[in-house]
Amino acid sequence: PSSHVSLTVNGERHSVTVDNRTSLLDLLREHLGLTGSKKGCNAGACGACTVLVDGRRVNSCLTLAVRLEGAEVTTVEGLAEGDQLHPLQQAFIDQDAFQCGYCTPGQIVSGVGCIQEGHTGSAEEIREWMSGNICRCGCYVKIVRAVEQATGRK
Ligand code: FES
Ligand code: FES
């Protein structure tokens, strides 16, 4: 069975009909062509698919699209303003906080959430509140530095 759902993604309204089992991640990647959010584990364990739903961080691979009627979704594609990178995107570049880049969109969206939630009091706190985002390349120290930079602490 499929259902109709209307939601806003990066400020743009979309109305789509999707299979009831479609995840938000598949809706973004396969129906809306937004492939920035990555599919790592597809099981809630890596954070590569992290997006904001109504301002909160979620694993989009575990979120059913049909439950998002009226929701506001922000993906990594929605963070920059025109030519201006989001401060955390710029910080990832400045701090050299990625290697292969596969985890990076999820790290950045999660970092934006972490900053908005105010969990940035120390490097340890950032590390803890970003712990759902796995980096196989082991860039954690630089990722934390990037979040600190965007918070204005570095
Ligand atoms: Fe969603 Fe890994 S792909 S948590
Ligand atoms: Fe490669 Fe994080 S930069 S997994």
* pLDDT above 90 (res 139): yes
Asked whether this complex has an ipTM greater than 0.85, the answer is yes
- Ligand 2 center from residue 142 Cα (angstroms): 11
In this prediction, residues 123-151 reach a mean pLDDT of 98
Q: Has domain 87-151 been given CATH number 3.40.630.10?
A: no
CATH for the 2-77 domain, from 3.10.20.30, 3.30.70.260, 3.20.20.70, 3.40.50.720: 3.10.20.30
Q: pTM of the prediction?
A: 0.97
DSSP string, 52-111: EETTEEEEGGGSBGGG-TT-EEE-GGGSSBTTB--HHHHHHHHTT--SS-SSHHHHHHHH
- Ligand 1 center from residue 118 Cα (angstroms): 23
C-beta of 48 in contact with ligand 1 (< 6 A): yes
Ligand 2 pocket residues where CB is under 6 Å: 98-104, 135-137, 139
pLDDT, tens digit, 9 for 90 and up, residues 80-135 = 999 999 999 999 999 999 999 999 999 999 999 999 999 999 999 999 999 999 99
pLDDT, tens digit, 9 for 90 and up, residues 15-41 = 999 999 999 999 999 999 999 999 999
- State the pLDDT confidence band at 154, using cuts at 50, 70 and 90: low
C-beta of 39 in contact with ligand 1 (< 6 A): yes
